[in-house]
Amino acid sequence: MNLIFMNEEEIRKLFRRGELVVSVYGLGFVGSSILAAWLLAGAKGIGVDIDEGKVENLMEGRSPINEPCLEDVFKVAKRDGRLTATTDGIKASRDSNVKIIAVPTLLRGNGEPDLSAVESAASSIAMGLKKGDLVILESSVPPGTTRSVLKPILESSGLKAGKDFGLAYSPERISEGRALRDIVESYPKIVGGIDERSTNVAAVLYSFIAKKGVIKVSSDIVAEFEKLAEGVYRDVNIALANELADLSRRMGINYDEVRRAANSQPYSHLHKPGTGVGGLCIPIYPRFLIWEASSIGIQLHLVRTARELNEDMPRVVAGLVKEGSKRLGIDDPVVAILGLAFRGDIADSRLSPTYDLIKALFNAQIKVKSVHDPLIRYDEMLSSLGVNLTEDLKEALKGVNVAVISTDHSIYRMTLTELLEMNPSLSLVVDGRHVIEVDSVPDGKAYVGVGRPWIIGRTSSKAT
């Protein structure tokens, strides 16, 4: 089947006949959601991963990851004979017309991008690549990766990109907890190929799954850059929010009130402050661009400063614990941290600022007794640090006098009175996510948010 040599009508007929086979390399949150989107549209799908457990789950029609709606799609596709999974990337390449790479990209200790997973997937694809196939990279990567890293590996097959097979970049644009909806309904798909043919074929294919349509850009490099620019915009905006929140708190005013008023102006888009920025997206994308800029002798001063501000937020929050303990005369603060996930109502703790918050508290000689998270049952790092992880909020608050809210889980949206009633010994609440409604602050108790002023029980003889 010479997919990339077909015109639009021929591709649409192929799709309607159910003959298009898409293999997705990487079955994490991104890859599993992408695979589900193609299956939902009617394509045949092959899930590829080195994790045998994920492959086994998919082979039985179960979702490899905890993400809404995916399992229902996989069950139906498995029943209809349109879904299979394997650890054999070479065979998956042979058996598919479209190969999508959605493996993680990380950073090495020296700040250099770690593209080893992309390179490994590309090597497997190359050994099964056929004339007429289309390869699409969806992993977030430094600009130029598709043509400078991926293309040479694929051409080791003896086939030439743009002549014998198509090659394009199309960034994933999802948030965990709504990934399938984001792909299918929320946003247009961005597509940029190494040549016009690759771009056009990829755009036709993505039009089958993206209800908001497809935006074709002039090259793969533009598409790669666009994805990172989205994340950097958010990182810089969050850093601005954190800096303004710090000033608001010190001035004795509430940043939330400032933000609401400012955002009534259509050109103001102030974000929320917090304990930091986590996940495998926003903390990494600025570093990719910083590395890319450095390689051509350019310094991204604003991007770097914003990243450093956000990375420093756990230390700032730990400082509020130390300050509050001093204000209340707490000689031996013992802390419960509420929230391990990097974002509310998801079960993903990758690069969560909670880890850095724990380290900052340890460095300040402050004991962390427990971490609560309603969605995460075990964490290897917390176990190695001797910190108890529990799903029971009352258990997490036992034996502590300080609570720090690090994640905006819905379960933490309560009044201060409700939180304090769970443990009468709880004296200090540091709200890193502004989720608590402050109804009253009893004598001897204190509350502060990263962008909210200190409120201390007025008749407390220890308050200063």
Q: Would you state the torsion angle of the CA atoms of residues 240, 246, 247, 248, taken in this order, to the nearest 10 degrees?
A: 100
Q: Would you state the torsion angle of the CA atoms of residues 218, 220, 222, 223, taken in this order, to the nearest 10 degrees?
A: 110
Mark whether 163 is an active-site residue. Answer: no
Q: Return the closest-CA partner of residue 148 out of 134, 165, 138, 161.
A: 161
- CB of 307 within 8 A of CB of 277? no
Q: How far is CA 207 from CA 82, 204, 247, 272, 414, in A?
A: 20, 5, 46, 34, 43
- CB of 113 within 8 A of CB of 86? no
Q: How many CB atoms lie within 10 A of CB 424?
A: 8
Given 44, 54, 227, 445, the catalytic residue: 227
Look at the block and give the residue holding tokens 């391990």. 340
Look at the block and give the residue holding tokens 């890319």. 292
Look at the block and give the residue holding tokens 């390179």. 119
Distance CA 213, CA 437 (A): 41
With the C-alpha atoms ordered 8, 173, 220, 134, is the resulting torsion angle positive or negative? negative
Look at the block and give the residue holding tokens 């192929």. 14
- The DSSP-derived string for 365-386 is T-EEEEEE-SS----HHHHHHT
- The DSSP-derived string for 4-57 is GGS-HHHHHHHHHTT--EEEEE--SHHHHHHHHHHHHHT-EEEEE-S-HHHHHH
Given 99, 281, 369, 445, the catalytic residue: 281
- CB of 395 within 8 A of CB of 370? yes
Q: Which residue pairs, CB below 8 angstroms and at least 24 apart, start in 205-211?
A: 205/11, 205/15, 205/20, 205/98, 205/134, 206/170, 208/15, 208/41, 208/42, 208/43, 209/37, 209/38, 209/40, 209/41, 209/183, 209/184, 210/183, 210/184, 211/184, 211/185
The conformational region for residue 418 under phi > 0 = left, psi -120 to 50 = alpha, else beta, is alpha
Count the helices and strands in the chain (H runs, E runs): 19, 17
Mark whether 227 is an active-site residue. Answer: yes
Active site residues: 227, 281
